[in-house]
Structure 1
Amino acid sequence: MEFSFREILINGIDDMVFVVKVEDQNFRYEFLNKSAMQCLRLNKDILGLTFRDVLPKEEAEFLYKKYQEVLIKREILTYEDSYRKKENVGEMNYSQVKLTPIFDGSGSCIRIVSVVRDITKEKAALSYVKEMVERIAESDERYQSLFTHNPDAILTFDKKGFITNGNEAVKSITGFEIIELIGKSFIDIIFEDINLLQQTINEALKGSTSSGEFLLKDKKGNILTINLKVIPLILENEVIGLFGIFKDITEATKNIEKLEESEKRFRIIAENAHDLITLVNKNGEITYVSPSYKNILGYHHKEYIGKHFIHNVHSDDLGRYMEIVEKSIQSDEPFTIEFRQKNANDEMLWCESIGKPVFNQKNKFQHLVVLTRDITLRKEYESKLKHFAYHDSLTGLPNRLLFKERFEIAKEQFLKNNNGLALMILDIDHFKRINDTYGHDIGDLVIKEFGLRIKESIGDHGTVARLGGDEFVILLSSIQNVENALEIAERIKSKVHKPWEVNGESLNVTTSIGIAMAPYSEGLTKSELMKKADIALYQAKDSGRDSYKLYEV
């Protein structure tokens, strides 16, 4: 039971996890999980070694600078890196590295936890999605440009359908001079769909505007696709002629086919993606979301269209999200952010977004492409990892590191309010005899039960921490006087005296306790108070054990 959580850290996390100890401006490996060992072909032999002992010089110096940056800035550092797996030297892999400093009670960074996540597939997907979106935007611009910069061709017809006149754009499209077309029917230059053209003209002769797409043979024999609109020319409620307005859409038709193919590819990716894919226009409105929104957030993807892209983000994360996106657009650089957003059950999920602004050929911002994944489970792992760093793995109680922090907080309150502060050190009498007689498994169970009984004895009045072995320390804040401290010690002693049944064994367990009251002094230190409590503990031992003593000057 003592190592179950460590096993989770070693075997249960897909991301690579390293715990690095900070020592005299050096960094030594203290822990690495199974993923790290498998991906980088490392083993536990590196524990206790520095970067320079394990890695090539260039890699070691790079890591050393990153970890130094964490020490200097005293904050979490996230960056992207690349590496080659040992089993596949030719293939480049990409990762996102998160360095989290762990501080002791005095504010010194003593460890740095590194979580390395493989983002190779994400970067490939983001690159492909960006390429598809850029192709779609490029095709759309060409399509629009084709209609903007080429004037429509206009022909006039009499009631019998013969051409009577036309503008200069007719020549630019067909290659025919207007004089060559006058007196001819439009049917003479249409390549196919003669019946449909005659039907379109007949509809216009009846007073209705009609249109269609046709194939036209120009003067050089080229076949063009045109969009033709036939409009009746009406005078005194009588159709006296026709206008034929047409434009060459040959290139546009080809572009549409390309566009449809690009969109088809994009949607195949989006509709089969497990992550959330979002397109956001320059106004911050969502124009597309992938169907995966239903699986991850519980919303139908159409519910998001037209809404502001951060409408569902936790209020505490809104400002930070907007600031990061604005900087990304200004710098034309991708962004990464961790934030919370609400799902359909009103639950807040931790998510991570990787976004990239897309600009047109005129370098004007067009839209954002954003890939988002649910990292709630990863956040829970990080929380457990932090708990592991601050708590004893056997008892679940605070360890020395957390106890230091709690002492500094209690000391500050004590000096501010003069409300009393006491410290107790206690252990199990003759614990070695229990270990030797019943074995270490029983010994571990005794330590767990001992810690539980101490915790139950003091309730919410202080902090219980395990120092190591069978030795525990209690910090009592807001203790009114010595009598209160002695009452708590007596309560602990009585609690320990109650019968012990451990794994079928009946045991006689007692404890010795040393108590020290904190003097009101700015120079008060934890080590000073613990030394006094330790002296009192040995006085209790010398008096026959199963007792408590108060340190007295």
Structure 2
Amino acid sequence: MSADKNILESLNKIDLFSQLFNNMSDLVYVTKVGKDGKFSYVLANEPATSFSGLTTKSFGKPLEEVLPKAVFNIIEAKYKQAIDSGEPITYEDKILVSPSFSSNKPNNKYAPGQLVYWESTITPVCNQNGECTHLLAVVRDITERKERENELKRMNDRFELVWNSAADAMYTFDRHQNFVSVNKSFINLLGWTEEEILNDRTISIIPMNSKEDLKEIINRVKNGEVVPSHEVQRITKHGKLIDVLASYSPIYDGNGNWDGAVAVYKDISERKKYEEQLKHHALHDYLTGMPNRNFFSKMLKEEMIRAEKSKRTLAVFYLDIDKFKVINDTLGHDIGDELLKEFSRRVKACIREKDLLARIGGDEFGILITNLYDKKKSIEIAERILSSFRSNWLIEKHHIRVASSIGISFYSPPYKQDEKLLLKQADIALYKAKEKGRGNYQVY
């Protein structure tokens, strides 16, 4: 009775092992290592036989007769590697499901031609003499994991492509305001390599006068605010200040905590340069390069306010070229233009560096002389200007005699002229100089 019980228990154990063995989701193969070095399957669980298309006739045969050649070549190499190492080895591989795969099995989840990823662990089984007699291969389906990894890689690749194809400079920083990543446009715009910017914590692209503004921006981003585009300046590797439109967006960690931000810089250097050119053209004469009437009027208003506060005197000169129309009509406008350029150069050389010379229009010029302690100083300047015209004028091989008339008005607080009246008074003095025979100055 006892013997029968032992037999029954053994049969039950075998049955339990068989159920567990065949219900495993992993593919399990037991392979015999022949004396001739050839391999043959001696045991495989249900998922393994189902996937590989093995039948009862497949067991005991050399693997090269059972498996497709490409599959056999991979397995043979790995088996030999496990035998040589004497230890378990693990590797990943991908296999196209064989067309001979049995599609009528109820648990079949693979379609012929499907690409399946596997993680295989091969363990050598040795006898008492240390000879490898069998190999245990446990093959795990990691297709879902690999597909997730591949999709993540595709997403990262797409992000990397967009990140480095963006025309705007972009970078991310952590909660400690250390650089985490930079794109190619950032490198091109600011000059540092990615290695330099990520490894050298002493590098700063923020000018000293912008550090307080950045603190305010960081606080806003910490509170979840997206800071829209605003004009700032940043420092390049070579110390050059560049103008950019900057925007900032917060980054959060997996727990929803603030973890840094992404900054985007749009280079507006060319735009700023163009704006400066437009501003310059709006306030300067295109021919002589001198300030124009608008700039002169603007500066006159500002200097009158300063003069009132400092109780100092300022002078306004109105001057033109005597009989310029005759020269222009006789020798042509090109000669007239060159004469105006030379006229402005000579006058500019006669005034102080801080004084302002402007072309008011045609052959009329204005001079603003500020911070006068003595009105006689302006008279000296007027005489110096008139004297500079007495030397020879050679314009495009034409010897020309040039003279000028100058009208002078003064603003001396507490008198209350406005800038228009001051200019009118200088203009009246100019015509008085012409009535006096030209080539002289008159004070209003």
Give the residue type in structure 1 aligned to 2:437: G
Q: Does 1:477 align with 2:364?
A: no
- In the other structure, the counterpart of 2:128 is none
- In the other structure, the counterpart of 1:70 is none
TM-score (norm 1): 0.55
- Report the Cα distance in structure 1 between the residues aligned to 2:156 and 2:216, rounded to whole angstroms: 31
Q: Secondary structure at the match of 1:263?
A: helix
- Report the Cα distance in structure 2 between the residues aligned to 1:253 and 1:364, rounded to whole angstroms: 30
Tell me how many residue pairs correspond in the alignment.
367
Q: Does 1:256 align with 2:256?
A: no
Of 418, 434, 438, the match for 2:311: 418
Give the residue type in structure 2 aligned to 1:221: N
Q: Kindly state the Cα deviation for residue 341 of structure 1 after the two structures are TM-superposed.
A: 2.8
Give the residue type in structure 1 aligned to 2:330: T
- Report the Cα distance in structure 2 between the residues aligned to 1:268 and 1:382, rounded to whole angstroms: 33
CA contact (8 A) 1:337 1:352 kept: yes
CA contact (8 A) 1:278 1:371 kept: yes
- In the other structure, the counterpart of 2:108 is 221
1:130-177 superposed Cα distances (whole Å, 9 cap, x missing partner): xxxxxxxxxxxxxxxxxxxxxxxxxxxxxxxx9999xx9x9796699x
- In the other structure, the counterpart of 2:441 is 548
CA contact (8 A) 1:356 1:368 kept: yes
- Report the Cα distance in structure 1 between the residues aligned to 2:194 and 2:331, rounded to whole angstroms: 62
- Report the Cα distance in structure 1 between the residues aligned to 2:178 and 2:369, rounded to whole angstroms: 55
- Report the Cα distance in structure 2 between the residues aligned to 1:255 and 1:196, rounded to whole angstroms: 28
- Report the Cα distance in structure 2 between the residues aligned to 1:367 and 1:254, rounded to whole angstroms: 30
- In the other structure, the counterpart of 2:381 is 488
Q: Kindly state the Cα deviation for residue 213 of structure 1 after the two structures are TM-superposed.
A: 3.8
- Report the Cα distance in structure 2 between the residues aligned to 1:247 and 1:312, rounded to whole angstroms: 51
Give the residue type in structure 1 aligned to 2:423: M
- In the other structure, the counterpart of 1:464 is 357
> 1:1-20 alignment to 2 at 5 Å?
none
Structure 1 residues 292 and 354: CA distance shift in structure 2, 3 A: same
CA contact (8 A) 1:280 1:309 kept: no
> 1:166-177 alignment to 2 at 5 Å?
none
- In the other structure, the counterpart of 2:210 is 317
- In the other structure, the counterpart of 1:498 is 391
Q: Kindly state the Cα deviation for residue 535 of structure 1 after the two structures are TM-superposed.
A: 2.0
Q: Secondary structure at the match of 2:433?
A: helix
> 1:122-521 alignment to 2 at 5 Å?
189-190=47-48, 211-213=90-92, 220-222=107-109, 225=117, 227=119, 249-271=142-164, 275-280=168-173, 284-305=177-198, 311-321=204-214, 323-324=216-217, 327=220, 333=226, 335-353=228-246, 370-521=263-414
Q: Kindly state the Cα deviation for residue 399 of structure 1 after the two structures are TM-superposed.
A: 1.4
Q: Kindly state the Cα deviation for residue 202 of structure 1 after the two structures are TM-superposed.
A: 7.2
Q: Secondary structure at the match of 2:290?
A: coil
- Report the Cα distance in structure 2 between the residues aligned to 1:548 and 1:255, rounded to whole angstroms: 89
- Report the Cα distance in structure 1 between the residues aligned to 2:142 and 2:199, rounded to whole angstroms: 31
Instruction: Give me the CA root mean square deviation.
Output: 4.3
- Report the Cα distance in structure 1 between the residues aligned to 2:305 and 2:15, rounded to whole angstroms: 98
- Report the Cα distance in structure 2 between the residues aligned to 1:210 and 1:356, rounded to whole angstroms: 47
- Report the Cα distance in structure 2 between the residues aligned to 1:163 and 1:271, rounded to whole angstroms: 61
Structure 1 residues 329 and 362: CA distance shift in structure 2, 3 A: same
- Report the Cα distance in structure 1 between the residues aligned to 2:109 and 2:286, rounded to whole angstroms: 82
Gaps of 5+ in 1: 1-161, 177-183, 233-243
- Report the Cα distance in structure 2 between the residues aligned to 1:297 and 1:461, rounded to whole angstroms: 37
- Report the Cα distance in structure 2 between the residues aligned to 1:522 and 1:227, rounded to whole angstroms: 96
Give the residue type in structure 2 aligned to 1:261: R
CA contact (8 A) 2:169 2:183 kept: yes
- Report the Cα distance in structure 2 between the residues aligned to 1:163 and 1:434, rounded to whole angstroms: 123
- In the other structure, the counterpart of 2:427 is 534
Q: Kindly state the Cα deviation for residue 365 of structure 1 after the two structures are TM-superposed.
A: 6.3
- Report the Cα distance in structure 2 between the residues aligned to 1:267 and 1:476, rounded to whole angstroms: 61
1:292-342 superposed Cα distances (whole Å, 9 cap, x missing partner): 455443332333336789932323334445645665675665732433333
Gaps of 5+ in 2: 1-13, 29-41, 53-70, 98-104, 111-115, 125-136
Structure 1 residues 463 and 357: CA distance shift in structure 2, 3 A: same
1:405-429 superposed Cα distances (whole Å, 9 cap, x missing partner): 2212322222222222111111111
- Report the Cα distance in structure 2 between the residues aligned to 1:415 and 1:231, rounded to whole angstroms: 99
Give the residue type in structure 2 aligned to 1:487: E
Report which stretch shifted further, 254-263 or 479-488.
Answer: 254-263
Structure 1 residues 256 and 459: CA distance shift in structure 2, 3 A: same
- Report the Cα distance in structure 2 between the residues aligned to 1:212 and 1:332, rounded to whole angstroms: 47
Give the residue type in structure 1 aligned to 2:425: K
Q: Kindly state the Cα deviation for residue 371 of structure 1 after the two structures are TM-superposed.
A: 4.8
Larger radius of gyration: 2
Give the residue type in structure 1 aligned to 2:236: N
- Report the Cα distance in structure 2 between the residues aligned to 1:230 and 1:280, rounded to whole angstroms: 45
Q: Secondary structure at the match of 1:394?
A: coil
Report which stretch shifted further, 308-317 or 495-504.
Answer: 308-317
Structure 1 residues 311 and 247: CA distance shift in structure 2, 3 A: farther
Q: Secondary structure at the match of 1:222?
A: coil
- In the other structure, the counterpart of 2:35 is none
Give the residue type in structure 2 aligned to 1:220: N
Q: Secondary structure at the match of 1:305?
A: helix
Q: Kindly state the Cα deviation for residue 484 of structure 1 after the two structures are TM-superposed.
A: 1.5
Structure 1 residues 332 and 212: CA distance shift in structure 2, 3 A: farther
TM-score (norm 2): 0.67
Give the residue type in structure 1 aligned to 2:435: D
CA contact (8 A) 2:27 2:138 kept: no
Structure 1 residues 428 and 211: CA distance shift in structure 2, 3 A: same
Of 411, 417, 435, the match for 1:524: 417
Structure 1 residues 447 and 194: CA distance shift in structure 2, 3 A: closer
Q: Secondary structure at the match of 1:497?
A: coil
